[in-house]
Amino acid sequence: MLPLRVHLQYKMSVLHPRSLIGCMVRRIPEGSTERYTRWINEITQDQLISQVYTSHGPTVIMPSWFCSRHWFDRVGSFDEGGKGVPEDLLFFYQSLRQGGGVARVDQCLLVYRYHEKAATHSVLEETIWNLRVDFLQERVLCRWESFTIWNAGKQGRKLYRSLSPANQKKVKAFCDVDENKIRKGFYTYEESKEKPKPKIPVLHYKEASSPFIVCVKLDMTGGVLEENLHALQLREGVDYYHFN
């Protein structure tokens, strides 16, 4: 911990007694998980809530958490299942379910070490995926009558296959920028037991309609994805949510 961490996070927790309070971090060794570290430090206060469904996990990282004992007890403590249990993600989701908020002190107050034997590496990717899909369905998709999956590639199709049958029927289209996928015209859900098998249209993103679940990795397109979303005048947390 760096000087003033407890003081500054305590002050914020007094203002947000039902929130998990985080902070900015410095990663060592220098340059470790560069994209992830940039995300931790640079997402906005609004995105601390809107980006809770991404593969990065909790929008304020567990080593930086600060909250009252009252809130900790209200949420219900940690899952002590041991190796392979993403206890931080489970606690984070439960805090949100209880009506909790998320806030961040916008100062670097923590040195966050990366090492290859960290417990986080023992958690299976599929475990995290299933938790995220369930939380997305519970918090977002249950409120939408229909939606578009932004990405007709591997990740978008995987999300579609992972949805409940009721939410699969809400998918009105996939959209993409890849002309080959768009030219094909549709995605056939071959694993479906329905006859005929569901065929979901694949559109150019400019022809698709909101709301969207965006299955394109953040910070990996040189700003193109973000520019496309901005050009359509879409509002994060209203017209779209990031999932990857």
Q: Summarize the confidence of residues 67-88 as an average pLDDT.
A: 91
d(C-alpha 156, C-alpha 217), whole Å: 11
What DSSP character marks residue 43? Answer: S
Residue 212 and residue 234 in contact, taking contact as beta carbons nearer than 8 Å: yes
Question: What range defines the domain where residue 226 resides?
Answer: 140-242
Co-location of 112 and 153 in the same domain: no
Identify the pLDDT of residue 149: 98
Mean pLDDT score of the chain = 94
| Tens of pLDDT, residues 14-73 | 999 999 999 999 999 998 899 999 999 999 999 999 999 999 999 999 999 999 999 999
| Tens of pLDDT, residues 107-162 | 999 999 988 766 666 789 999 999 999 999 999 999 999 999 999 999 999 999 99
d(C-alpha 125, C-alpha 65), whole Å: 23
Co-location of 59 and 108 in the same domain: yes
Q: 135 in a domain, yes or no?
A: no
Q: How large a percentage of the chain has pLDDT more than 90?
A: 87
Co-location of 118 and 197 in the same domain: no
Co-location of 9 and 121 in the same domain: yes
d(C-alpha 176, C-alpha 207), whole Å: 10
Co-location of 11 and 120 in the same domain: yes
Q: 134 in a domain, yes or no?
A: no
Identify the pLDDT of residue 77: 86
What are the backbone angles phi and psi of residue 17, rounded to the nearest 5°? -70, -15
d(C-alpha 145, C-alpha 13), whole Å: 37
What is the domain-level CATH number for residue 82? Answer: 3.90.550.10
What are the backbone angles phi and psi of residue 175, rounded to the nearest 5°? -135, 160
State the pTM of this model: 0.94
d(C-alpha 186, C-alpha 195), whole Å: 16
Q: 181 in a domain, yes or no?
A: yes
Q: 68 in a domain, yes or no?
A: yes
| Tens of pLDDT, residues 190-201 | 999 899 999 999
